[in-house]
Amino acid sequence: MHAIQPKYVYRHEWTKDDVVLWDNRCTMHSVEPFDNATVRRIMHRVTLVGEGRPIAA
């Protein structure tokens, strides 16, 4: 499959206090196995409405 060629795949090497964002409209993503007993994950979902350009805060 074209989209999963290594040149198009990003794998994040997590370190403390990392934050990763992605756009579900344009990205395929999946989770790699991890130890849920020792690794704390905090996840938030944000949904934007509209097709206009983002406005800087």
Domain total for the chain? 1
**pLDDT score recorded for residue 7:** 93
pLDDT of residue 34: 81
Domain around 6: 1-57
Q: Reply yes or no on whether the pLDDT at 54 is more than 80.
A: no
DSSP secondary structure, the chain, as one string: -GGGSGGG-------TT------TTT----PPP--TTT-----------SSSPP---
Q: What is the pTM of this model?
A: 0.56
